[in-house]
Amino acid sequence: MMIAMKATVYGLREDERPLFAKEAERFPEIELVLTKEYVTEDSAALAEGADAILITAPCTITPALARRLHGAGVRYILTRSTGFGHIDRQAIQNYGIRAANVPAYSLNAVPEFCLLLTLNLLRNFKRESKMLEKKDFSLSGIQGKELGTMTVGLFGTGRLGTREAQLFKAMGCRVLAYNPHPREAAKPYVEYVTKETVLREAELIVLQCALNEENRHMINTETIAQMRDGVYLVNTARGGLMNFADVLDGLKSGKIAGLATDVYDHEETFVRKNCAGMDLGDPVMEELMGMENVILTPHIAFFTEAAIRDIIHTSLENLREFARTGGCSNEVYQAKQS
């Protein structure tokens, strides 16, 4: 039996439009209303009569917004992201709204991008690009390192971390890993060691772990001091894992040879926005962006057609599961009991 559902999709990007159109054919019971606007108290009216909303990470669900959505009839919030910290747990529970996320999507998008950042960093591609813009074809300052000769230290061996370990191993690296709970699937590619051993022995440190209160700013003055001189850092996980002011100091002193990061602490102030000509109000980031041994990308490691297709499909599957069973295997907060 087909269950008719209506969902408002907020924060629609143009690259998502054809993918939503294709997925809509597979979910005929769901009527989709698409809008480029992010969900706010003002735009909540677009969800009037909808059973659900599909949002992105920049959409923050506050108590006031939860009240507006509840009044519009919204029962489900499906975030098109893995993280769900932008959804106020107490707020949605107070109004009986359920929420689900996309815990996994493309296995290759982030690991491939991590490898791309790493190779660009080790081969001084940013400096080389700037030289070519000036028609400087010399070899001055661009001698690189071969990844396969290096010891990689990996923090995090979940699904993506394991895939990254596999790629680094295939390149010829020795891969040391730290994870509170060693993963059997990663063992063919890594040597599990203590975090202190990773910091002390790795020539290249890669972050692919979840962010929590225990590891916030795990890369800081103290841990940087434990690292080898000339260490390289790569982060495709979460910006909050690094104290970027401390990393900047490490770069200036030469302790850190280079940084490549797809994420930044408190990146919500600029990510997904065109800030051309604007003062970002973050002198640390401004200085990092100007350094030739720093590569900073705006949280785009996930951004492939395959990944977006997976994210949209899982979001709609989440809604279908809620409608058919009253629950969802990807639910992030349990509904408040009456």
Q: How many structural domains is the chain composed of?
A: 2
> Is residue 55 included in any domain, yes or no?
yes
Sequence-ordered list of residues with C-beta below 8 angstroms from that of 279, at least 6 positions apart, any chain: none
81 has a pLDDT exceeding 50: yes
Sequence-ordered list of residues with C-beta below 8 angstroms from that of 168, at least 6 positions apart, any chain: 115, 147, 152, 154, 175, 189, 206
> Is residue 232 included in any domain, yes or no?
yes
pTM: 0.89
Query: Using one digit for the tens of pLDDT, what is the confidence trace for 173-197?
Result: 999 999 999 999 999 999 999 999 9
CB 100 within 8 A of CB 332: yes
Query: Using one digit for the tens of pLDDT, what is the confidence trace for 245-278?
Result: 999 999 999 999 999 999 999 887 888 788 898 8
Half-sphere exposure of 224 (CA within 13 A, CB side): 26
3 has a pLDDT exceeding 80: no
**Residues known to be catalytic:** 238, 267, 299
Query: Using one digit for the tens of pLDDT, what is the confidence trace for 23-45?
Result: 999 999 999 999 999 999 999 99
137-139-142-144 Cα dihedral, nearest 10 degrees: 120
CATH of the domain at 23: 3.40.50.720
> Is residue 337 included in any domain, yes or no?
no
Question: For residue 77, what pLDDT is reported?
Answer: 98
157 and 100 in one domain? no
76 and 159 in one domain? no
335 has a pLDDT exceeding 60: no
Query: Using one digit for the tens of pLDDT, what is the confidence trace for 286-332?
Result: 999 999 999 999 999 999 999 999 999 999 999 999 999 999 999 99
168 and 41 in one domain? no
> Is residue 265 included in any domain, yes or no?
yes
Distance set, CA 231 to CA 145, 213, 225, 259, 323 (Å): 12, 25, 11, 9, 51
Domain range spanning residue 238? 108-296
274 and 248 in one domain? yes
